[in-house]
């Protein structure tokens, strides 16, 4: 069976994204930062209630991030339409699977970058560049924007992320 078309590429991206999230989720949640005792009990490891609570919070934050990224994409599309740089129906009329595949990719990349690099002040700036890059790539190759509009879209998303971080962290 041969892979053809944008839908197949979107499916491959979605599969790779899910694999990336699951592996990061497993490593992040099941990692034990506490030193191992000299004689650990043998048997099947059990997920404790604290690890389950962390997993629940990670899932909750990812779902909230996904919906906020969806709003951010719609807001960016309408802003570009308001500035007469893009016709909003170009994005709104596309298949929802392609649209939400792009949003899922943006969410996965942004969430992993914030999770991994967001612990330091300089890591947040690297995360902003990653967010800018992910929005540009998705809007150019998946949504079909021109490079100029893709960069405008990425800058808009990065500025909104920066403003949200400033409000959340009271910097």
Q: Any idea where the domains of the chain sit in the sequence?
A: 65-171
Q: Determine contact, residues 157/132, Cβ cutoff 8 Å.
A: yes
Q: What is the pLDDT of residues 87-130, one digit of tens each?
A: 888 888 888 888 899 999 998 888 888 877 777 778 888 888 98
pLDDT in tens, 137-156: 999 998 888 899 899 989 99
């Amino acid at each position: 069976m041969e892979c053809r078309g944008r839908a197949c590429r979107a499916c491959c991206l979605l599969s790779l994204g899910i694999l990336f999230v699951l592996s990061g989720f497993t490593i992040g949640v099941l990692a034990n930062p506490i030193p191992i005792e000299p004689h650990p009990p043998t048997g099947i490891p059990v997920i404790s209630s604290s690890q389950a609570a962390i997993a629940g919070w990670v899932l909750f934050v990812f779902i909230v991030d996904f919906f906020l990224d969806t709003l951010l994409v719609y807001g960016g599309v309408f802003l570009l339409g308001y500035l007469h740089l893009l016709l909003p129906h170009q994005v709104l009329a596309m298949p929802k699977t392609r649209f939400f595949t792009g949003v899922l990719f943006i969410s996965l990349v942004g969430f992993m970058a914030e999770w991994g690099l967001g612990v330091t002040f300089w890591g947040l700036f690297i995360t902003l560049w990653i967010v800018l890059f992910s929005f540009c790539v998705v809007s150019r190759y998946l949504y079909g924007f021109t490079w100029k509009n893709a960069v405008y879209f990425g800058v808009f998303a990065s500025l909104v992320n920066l403003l949200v971080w400033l409000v959340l962290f009271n910097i």
